[in-house]
Structure formats: C-alpha cells, structure tokens
Chains A and B, each alone.
Chain A
Amino acid sequence: MTRSPHPAARRVLLPLVGVACVLGAWEATLALYRLPAIVLPTPWSVATALADLITTRAFWHDVGVSLYEFAVGYAIGVVLGVAIGILMGERRHFRMAATPVIESLRFIVPFAWIPLTILWFGTSYTGKILLVAYAVFFVMVVSTARAVAQVEPTLSRVGTMLGMGSWRLAFTVHLRAAAPTLASAARAAAAIGWIAVVAAEYIGASAGLGLMITNAAASLATPVVIAGMFVIGVVGAGVSAAIGTLSRKWLDYR
C-alpha cells in the first residue's frame, strides 16, 4: 500500500466530501421536485436561520434547559444504575429478586412513559429528569451487573488474600476492573438519555430544544425546525464525546 502524500489534507477533505454529498442530495431533491420552502427549505436558508437562532437569548435558554434536564437525570441514572448493578453483581439473592423486575421494565422504552410523566409532572423539568434517569439507569444497571460478575475470579481471590472484606473487594477490585466496560456503557447511556430528553420536550415542555422545534413547526418556520434538529445532533454528539473522553480518562486503564 502506498502512503497518502497529504495525510493532513485528506483528514480535512474527506469529511468535507461527506458533507458535500449530503448537501448536494438536498439541493438535488429541491431542484428535482420543486418543493416549496415550507416543506423543505434550502440549506442556505437553514444556515441563516441557525445563524439568527444562536444570536438570540431564548435559544441559549432552551439549550440550557435541555442540558440541565439531561445532566441531572444522567447523574441520577448513572449513580443508581451503578449502585444497583453492583448489588446485583455481588449478592446472588439480590440479583435473583431484582432480575425479573429489571428485565421486564427495561424493555418499556422511555418514550412509552412520556404520557404518564406528563400526567404526573406536567411540563415541568421533573418529568424529563426522571425520564432521562430511567433511560440511563437501565443501560447502566444491566452492564454494571454483568461486568462486575464477569471480573476475572483470580482478582477476587487475590483481593481476599490481601485481606479485603467483601465490600472493599466490590468497590476497589470488581468495580475498578469493570470500569472500562462501564465507561463505554456510560457513553451509550448518554446518547439514549439525550434522545429521551428531546423526545419528551417534543411532546410536553415549558422550555427546551424540543419545545423550540415544535413551536417553530407550528408557525411553519421550517428552516428553524431543521436548524433546531441540527443543534440537537451537535449537542448530542458533543455530550457523548465529552462523556467518552472523561470516562476514558478516569476509568480506562487499557
């Protein structure tokens, strides 16, 4: 294989090619079907709408609300998920009692709970926070329990030999050994949690990115709708990358 003569240029150019393809397909669709701007605006008008959006205070408030709901829910979900996951991994009786509950609940996707959370908590932050926590919890609890139970048995015997009691063993050996698995689970959970926040805001919220988009759609401001969708994607990718980097930095020793 010959080495690329301009690796840096390729690293910049090839992603641009991907973006150009999408924009090209978008423009081609517009040209081919002569769609009105309300149905599908041009990329340029979406870009202008985005540029206008990010200069408004309301937009940043919406981003802030969505991120706040996400962050609180995510923290609750991760802490509870890891805690219950450790208990399930360490205590056979606890696992036997908890497994049927968790296995049946975890396939009730967060979105199925949206009507109930609106009924119970209205359009407040609480409903979204709980929804995110719920979504994140199940990802974390299942992978924690599995990862803790699958830790190399020699490591447990070593810990016991070194004089560790069962809880010390659980936290300093099992949890630590499971950390790389937890790091990738935490990242997957972030994606699901972010999706849950936005979806819940689409349906019932008093602020947030989802609400901003549904409002824009109601007033037929399609460029704003698409600009908002773009923001959801960018923020989500950013959150996921940040959590990935942080968790790798702290947890991954491989």
Chain B
Amino acid sequence: MTPSAASSIDERASAIDRAKQEVARNTREGELLVDRVFHRYSTFGRQTEVLRDVSFRIAPGQVACVVGPSGCGKSTLLGLAAGLLRPTAGTILWDGAPVVIGRNRHLGMAFQQPGLFPWMSVRKNVAIGLRTRGYPRRDARRIADEFLHTVGLSDFKDAYPSQLSGGMAQRVGIARALALRPRLLLLDEPFAAVDAFTRLKLQQEFKALLALTRPTVLFVTHDVAEAIALGDVIVVMTQRPATVQRIIPVAREERHRASAAYARKLAETLECLGVTSDMGDEH
C-alpha cells in the first residue's frame, strides 16, 4: 500500500469520527433525528422520488404525528425509521446512532392492519416478540398477560384472532408493540381501519397507555383530528416527493374538542394541507 493511500484512509476515518462526534453532540438519548433524508426507488427502470430532504426531530418521550396527502410517503418514512428500508441519502439517528436494518431491539411498531398471526392465540401473539428477543417462556407469558389486562382483553387471552372484532384486534396489535417496552414506538395509521366511535375510544386508551411508559412516538395518520388529539407536534408533509412543509406544536388546551383553540388548530393544520375551512356555503 502506498503511503498516500494510507494517509487518505486515515483522513477519511478521522472525518467519519468527527462526523460521529458532531452527531453525538447534536442528539440525545431517546431522540429520533431525521436528517436531510431522501428516498427513491425504481420499479421497471422508472425512478420514483418519495422523500426529498425530510428533516425533523422528536424529543425523548414526545409524540410526533405525521400527516400528509395519501401516498406522500408517510409509510416509507416509518419504514426508514424502523430500519426496514435504507434511505437513498441522509441519516436517521436514534440515540445518536444511525438506524441499522435488522437492529431493532429498541422499537415497537403497530400497523394499519393489526397483522396478528392467525394460528396463535391472543396471548401467544403478544408474547412471541418477547420470546424472539430471548425472554423465558414464563416471563413472556406474564408480561403478555399484563399488557392484555391494560388493554382490557384479559378475557380473550386464549381466543384466536379470527374471533376478535376489528377494534379488539387493533388493541392486541398495540399491546404486542407495547409489551416489547419499546423506547421508540412507530405507528402506521393503527386506528384507520376501525369505525369512528371505536377509533375515539382507542385513541383515549392509547393516550393513557403512553403515559405509563413514555416512549418516543412517531405516529403516521391521515386524520388531522387524531394528530391534534395525540401529538405533541404535528409534522405536515407535502405531496410526493414529500418534504416537511411545517412543524406545528400542539398545546395541551388545544386538545379539548369543544374549545375554540382546537378549532383554530384544526383549521391551521388543514390549511397547511390545502383544505380551507370555508366550505363554500357562506352566502
């Protein structure tokens, strides 16, 4: 190896070290940082740009709700944060370190379809993640039972997913994610497929559950009311290729659905999304 090659490798290594140190200074434990992320994929040679320069951060224990037009890449963003996908450019940092595909012991995730394993009882569905992560059978069972109790499904431990209603299945999906006691919780429209009344109930329960464990939460939804009800901040995305249009903080008093503050927040967020509060029936 020539001396110049060696020195350039040294230079690169120290540059990487410097970058890592800078990142470490800029992020805290329990913080999710999405930093200038681009994502592109190609199908049959056609490139699709999904995310263009997306940046935001979620403080430890905070809930960020991502809203945006459908198909704008919200789920892609979640996939990137979960380490299921690799960004084309940019970095996603958790605890100050880049998210690595397949390394996910810190996270729990719930999906629009609850995705319960139909061949397992409800209890096993909740316990399986703990088993995979090395918990002994007895402990996994005990923790699963605890979380099923918190979501009010103790009586359905031995039921199979096909015997559950949509709302119940969704509760199991959330219990399964929370049973892993994740420090980072990622949610992909988990309440979108249930009826409006059940959705409101689930949101309330979910809020109470979060207060127990206080994970950092990235919550993707297309429901602005849900975003205001659950989020500490709302990240409004644009059309594809999506970028962050605005980050709207939500104050406590703005969550009361009967308040004028709530109405203003709703109107403000909707306006960001290009929906005016004027329905055209004023004259």
A183 CB → nearest B CB, Å: 12
User: Which B residue sits closest to A252, measured CB to CB?
Assistant: B119
Q: Does B96 contact A (CB under 8 A)?
A: no
Q: Is the CB of A253 within 8 A of B118?
A: yes
Q: Does A220 contact B (CB under 8 A)?
A: no
B116 CB → nearest A CB, Å: 8
* Candidates A155, A165, A179, A254; contact of B115 at CB < 8 Å: A155
Q: Does A157 contact B (CB under 8 A)?
A: yes
Check A155/B133 contact, CB under 8 A, given A161-B107, A161-B109.
no
Q: Is the CB of A162 within 8 A of B84?
A: no
Q: Is the CB of B117 within 8 A of A177?
A: yes
Contact residues on A (Cβ < 8 Å of other chain), bracket: 10 to 19
Q: Is the CB of B129 within 8 A of A162?
A: yes
Query: Number of B residues contacting the other chain (C-beta, 8 Å)?
Result: 24
Q: Does B88 contact A (CB under 8 A)?
A: no
Q: Is the CB of A160 within 8 A of B117?
A: no
Q: Is the CB of A253 within 8 A of B160?
A: yes
Q: Does B65 contact A (CB under 8 A)?
A: no
Q: Chain B's interface: helix, strand, loop or mixed, by majority?
A: loop
A161 contacts which chain B residues (CB < 8 A)? 82, 104, 107-109, 129, 177
B180 contacts which chain A residues (CB < 8 A)? 162
Q: Is the CB of A173 within 8 A of B117?
A: yes
Enumerate B170-210 residues with CB–CB distance to A below 8 Å.
Answer: 176-177, 180
Q: Is the CB of B102 within 8 A of A165?
A: yes
User: Which B residue sits closest to A168, measured CB to CB?
Assistant: B132
- Taken together as a complex, chains A and B put the C-alpha atoms of A176 and B120 apart, in Å, by 10
Q: Does B113 contact A (CB under 8 A)?
A: yes
Q: Is the CB of B132 within 8 A of A157?
A: no
B174 CB → nearest A CB, Å: 12
Q: Does B153 contact A (CB under 8 A)?
A: no
Q: Does A158 contact B (CB under 8 A)?
A: yes
Q: Is the CB of B118 within 8 A of A154?
A: no
Check A154/B113 contact, CB under 8 A, given A161-B107, A163-B105, A254-B162.
yes
A173 contacts which chain B residues (CB < 8 A)? 117
Q: Is the CB of A176 within 8 A of B132?
A: no
Q: Is the CB of A176 within 8 A of B119?
A: yes
Q: Chain A's interface: helix, strand, loop or mixed, by majority?
A: helix
Enumerate A154-203 residues with CB–CB distance to B below 8 Å.
Answer: 154-155, 157-158, 160-165, 168, 173, 176-177, 179
Enumerate A117-176 residues with CB–CB distance to B below 8 Å.
Answer: 152, 154-155, 157-158, 160-165, 168, 173, 176
- Taken together as a complex, chains A and B put the C-alpha atoms of A161 and B125 apart, in Å, by 13
A254 contacts which chain B residues (CB < 8 A)? 118, 162
- Taken together as a complex, chains A and B put the C-alpha atoms of A155 and B133 apart, in Å, by 17
B156 contacts which chain A residues (CB < 8 A)? none
- Taken together as a complex, chains A and B put the C-alpha atoms of A157 and B83 apart, in Å, by 11
- Taken together as a complex, chains A and B put the C-alpha atoms of A161 and B111 apart, in Å, by 11
Q: Does B220 contact A (CB under 8 A)?
A: no
Check A162/B102 contact, CB under 8 A, given A157-B111, A177-B117, A253-B119.
no
Q: Does B63 contact A (CB under 8 A)?
A: no
Check A157/B129 contact, CB under 8 A, given A165-B102, A253-B160.
no
B233 contacts which chain A residues (CB < 8 A)? none
Known A160-B84, A163-B133; further 6 A-B contacts with Cβ < 8 A: A160-B82, A161-B82, A162-B180, A163-B132, A177-B118, A254-B162
Which 7 A-B pairs have CB atoms at the shortest separation, nearest pair first? A162-B129, A154-B115, A253-B119, A158-B115, A161-B109, A163-B132, A154-B113
Question: A residues engaging B (CB < 8 A)?
Answer: 152, 154-155, 157-158, 160-165, 168, 173, 176-177, 179, 253-254
Question: B residues engaging A (CB < 8 A)?
Answer: 82, 84, 102, 104-105, 107-109, 111-113, 115, 117-119, 128-129, 132-133, 160, 162, 176-177, 180
A-B contact pairs, 8 of them (CB 8 A): A154-B112, A161-B82, A162-B129, A162-B133, A162-B176, A177-B119, A253-B118, A253-B160
